[in-house]
């Protein structure tokens, strides 16, 4: 009995040790490049590569140059417009589509879900020519609205599946109870299911908002003029020339990109848990 207890204790210790070791290694992998980026953004030296220097001199000169010598503020504004538009439109469409596929049975429902999976298998690279030709036909090249529609369309298939799966976890008994009380389809959606689905809706909003900030390929392919570029395309110009790498300004611009994303995360954070009980109380 004593040997069994000792063996169990050793296994528990080994399990915890491996868990903490994994978390420590993962934290280092995540935090180290972040530290390099932040330090490079505030470094007074003319960097040609990302380095971690504990004895560096901190300054805001890189940010001043970024605002005065480049079109960064214009790029940032463009990205914010595209990101907010993409977030609002995609969340509305995906939420309604996911709810429809989860709660209703109609002709073509199964085929529609399969079609979403097939579309998701097509890589972005394979669709670039199609996007370009479509933009050329409808005069959408170098236009914010066309890039926004491409982002929204690309996010609908898989996110609809995710939203449908989340709505499937919400008990249908709540819908039946509300229907017995005289609630219609719209009221059941708005007052019962949406509050319960707020964690997934918040995640969808955050994903949709982050996409335009990190995407380079589509925005570089569809937006041509410098005043219409997004931050990802604009920042790439700072490190595109091997003989003139403006690493500090690139890091400063990358640091500023994280600010709206972090703000939105904290604004949506309460929704990650509030939806678990928000819609299940009859009032």
Domains assigned to the chain: 9-60 (no CATH), 64-282 (1.10.3720.10)
């609002």: which residue's tokens?
88
- At residue 5, the pLDDT reads 54
pTM of this structure? 0.84
- At residue 101, the pLDDT reads 92
- Cα(234)–Cα(112) distance, rounded to whole angstroms? 38
pLDDT digits (tens, 9 = 90+) for 100-151: 999 888 888 889 888 888 888 877 778 888 898 999 999 999 999 999 999 9
Structure tokens at 87: 């977030």
- At residue 283, the pLDDT reads 41
- At residue 282, the pLDDT reads 42
Contact (CB, 8 A) for 82 and 203: no
């220097």: which residue's tokens?
53
- At residue 180, the pLDDT reads 84
Instruction: Spell out, as residue ranges, where the chain has pLDDT lower than 70.
Output: 1-6, 45-53, 273-283
In sequence order, which residues have a C-beta less than 8 Å from that of residue 257 and are 6 or more positions away? 76, 79, 213, 231
Burial of residue 9 (CB within 10 Å: 0-12, 13-18, 19+) is exposed
- At residue 279, the pLDDT reads 45
- At residue 281, the pLDDT reads 45
DSSP structure string for 208-259: HHHHHHH--HHHHHH--SGGG--HHHHHHHHHH-TTS--HHHHHHHHHHHHH
- At residue 116, the pLDDT reads 86
- At residue 10, the pLDDT reads 76
Contact (CB, 8 A) for 151 and 82: yes
- At residue 280, the pLDDT reads 47
């Amino acid at each position: 009995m004593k040997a069994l207890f000792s063996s169990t204790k050793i296994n528990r210790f080994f399990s915890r040790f491996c868990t903490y070791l994994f978390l420590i290694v993962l934290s280092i992998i995540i935090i180290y490049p972040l530290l390099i980026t932040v330090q490079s953004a505030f470094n007074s030296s003319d960097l040609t590569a990302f380095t971690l220097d504990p004895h560096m001199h901190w300054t805001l000169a890189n940010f001043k140059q970024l605002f005065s010598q480049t079109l960064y503020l214009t790029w940032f504004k463009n990205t914010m417009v595209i990101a907010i538009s993409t977030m609002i439109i995609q969340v509305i469409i995906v939420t309604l589509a996911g709810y429809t596929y989860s709660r209703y049975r109609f002709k073509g429902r199964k085929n529609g879900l399969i079609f979403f999976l097939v579309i998701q298998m097509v890589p972005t690279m394979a669709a670039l020519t199609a996007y370009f030709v479509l933009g050329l036909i409808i005069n959408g090249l170098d236009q914010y609205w066309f890039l926004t529609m491409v982002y929204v369309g690309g996010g609908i298939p898989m996110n609809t599946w995710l939203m449908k799966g989340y709505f499937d976890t919400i008990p249908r008994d709540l819908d039946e109870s509300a229907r017995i009380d005289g609630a219609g389809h719209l009221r059941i959606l708005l007052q019962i299911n949406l509050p319960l689905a707020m964690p997934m809706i918040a995640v969808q909003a955050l994903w949709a908002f982050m996409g335009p900030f990190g995407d380079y390929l589509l925005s570089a392919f569809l937006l041509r003029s410098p005043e219409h570029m997004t931050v990802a395309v604009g920042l790439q110009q700072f490190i595109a020339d091997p003989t003139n790498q403006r690493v500090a300004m690139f890091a400063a611009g990358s640091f500023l990109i994280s600010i709206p994303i972090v703000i939105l995360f904290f604004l949506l954070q309460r929704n990650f848990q509030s939806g678990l009980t928000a819609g299940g109380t009859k009032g």
